[in-house]
Chains A and B, each alone.
Chain A
Amino acid sequence: MSSNDMNTRDRQTRMGLLARARPARLAALMPALPRHDWLRAPETGAVMVRGRIGATGGAFNLAEMSVTRCALKLDGGAVGHAYVQGRDKDHAARAAVIDALMQGPAAARIEADILAPLRADEENRRHARAEKAAATKVEFFTMVRGED
């Protein structure tokens, strides 16, 4: 895999994490935004979510979800994009700023101060759900039948 592919893969993972982040948590981790120019001001729209017939067959349109997107340019010239779930424009703006900052010298600091805590939050949420689900897993036992 080329380093370009690796970068794209990392960026995809990061954008997904930011899209799923709780807006209030992201705002607490990053209260102030650096100066930026909008390439596309935040706008809320809908994405048609598709499913597959029988989980693995042909696609069908299930229903829409709300999504907010934006694109911006930092003073240094770095461009950031965001597509985040919901209607929170500040959420989208923060995600785009982080996307742009991760392409420059601030990357390590952003990774440690913002992305790592977001990843930990998500991991905790998933872990808690998986543990509760595991507690409701049925353990069957067979009654011994009388045989004589």
Chain B
Amino acid sequence: MYVATKGGERAIDAAHQWLAEERRGSPSVPELSIAQIREQMTLAVNRVMAEGSLYDPDLAALAIKQARGDLIEAIFLIRAYRTTLPRFGASAPVETGGMAITRRISATFKDAPGGQVLGPTFDYTHRLLDFKLMAEGAAQEAARKPADPEPAPHILSLLDRDGLMEPLAATDDTPRDLTREPLELPADRPLRLQALARGDEGFLLSLAYSTQRGYGRTHAFVGELRIGTCAVEMEIPELGFAVEIGEIELTECETVNQFTGSKTEPPQFTRGYGLVMGQSERKAISMSLVDRALRWEELGEENTGAPAQDTEFVLYHADNIQATGFLEHIKLPHYVDFQSELELIRKLRREAAGVQMREAAE
């Protein structure tokens, strides 16, 4: 039986007022602007865009401000907003080969054409707190060198040429879209990649790490990791041709994995793929490891029962908004549910006590 209860409106209003005051913090400290968050908390903005699944840096910055820096709450706000937007269409697949490169490294080929470009990386920093940042000061300016027009082709295409790499078929099939239809299994690779691209970074990191530690091992090397901007092009029906509707920053990771061959395939390298909006290499590498682990079936590998090989487990638990929604709902009023639990426990105890008394009397 459901019993509707009312009340608490005034308490809720006051709680939200207090939330707004706490969000602002001490009025003696200047308020953060959206532009400051966008420009100086860029990687947080990137994470909110990637997992909120909407590329819009200003909105992501606003969501972070409104959520007091709680990134999952911010992602929730973006997910809620994007459901209000009409869908204009789908872009042509982005050509990451033509990316304007900020960073591009390979762990497999030292002398790849186009070179190893470190970009603005935390790698090789000493992870010591920089107390100079506590004082306001002018930022250091980046060094410059005349730009090199040498093209930077995808590094795995070099292995591809020698036939050592698992071939890819460039099909023009329309991929399934989990924002338009419920996520149902079996999930093909395009659908899995969509779910992983918007999945929780922490969850994917842990799963990817578990494969490295032996739970569904795939022996991954980072064949190439690249970060930069790509044009987004869409066919405009009323014009009858395609136009670029903007450009977005992307992080792409391609792994090279050992594969000893199967009944139908010769020994060769296989691929894992990660593509994430914004600058997020931890997520992109994690995604490509998990993508590869989920491919065990199509590659005829053994299912070792590892969590990262379990499509249902991975895809149904990767979304932090679904997860937090279900998790946090248990803190909301369940008074009536609990009342019945309480009565049940009391009844069981009475019965147990009755049995003991009878046994004692016998």
Q: Which residues of A pack against B, CB within 8 Å?
A: 8, 11-12, 15-16, 19-20, 43-67, 69, 71, 81, 83-87, 126-138, 140
Question: Would you give 29 A-B contacts (Cβ < 8 Å), ordered by A?
Answer: A12-B243, A19-B245, A47-B245, A48-B179, A49-B90, A49-B248, A51-B94, A51-B275, A52-B170, A53-B189, A59-B172, A60-B191, A63-B198, A65-B245, A66-B54, A83-B234, A84-B246, A86-B56, A86-B246, A126-B100, A128-B144, A132-B143, A134-B147, A134-B148, A135-B143, A137-B117, A137-B148, A138-B116, A140-B110
Q: A15-B244, A50-B94 are in contact. Are A129 and B55 (CB under 8 A)?
A: no
A13 to chain B minimum Cβ distance, whole angstroms, is 8
Question: Which A residues lie within 8 Å of B50 (CB)?
Answer: 63
Q: Which residues of B pack against A, CB within 8 Å?
A: 49-50, 53-56, 58-59, 82, 85-94, 96-97, 100-103, 110-111, 115-120, 142-148, 154, 156-157, 168-179, 189-191, 193-194, 197-198, 231-234, 236, 238-239, 241-248, 252, 254, 271, 273, 275, 277
On whether the beta carbons of B58 and A60 are closer than 8 Å, the reply is: no
Measured in the bound complex, the distance between the Cα atoms of B104 and A138 in whole Å is: 11
The residue of chain B having its C-beta at the shortest distance from the C-beta of A66 within the complex is B56
B150 to chain A minimum Cβ distance, whole angstroms, is 10
Question: Which B residues lie within 8 Å of A130 (CB)?
Answer: 100, 147-148
On whether the beta carbons of A59 and B55 are closer than 8 Å, the reply is: no
Q: A15-B243, A71-B238, A138-B115 are in contact. Are A56 and B145 (CB under 8 A)?
A: no
Measured in the bound complex, the distance between the Cα atoms of B143 and A122 in whole Å is: 20
Question: Which B residues lie within 8 Å of A46 (CB)?
Answer: 54, 82, 85-88
Measured in the bound complex, the distance between the Cα atoms of B236 and A140 in whole Å is: 47
Pick from A11, A43, A126, A129: contact of B86, CB under 8 Å? A43
Name 12 extra pairs, CB < 8 A, besides A59-B93, A63-B55, A86-B58: A16-B243, A49-B90, A49-B232, A56-B154, A58-B168, A62-B197, A65-B56, A81-B238, A129-B102, A132-B143, A133-B117, A137-B145
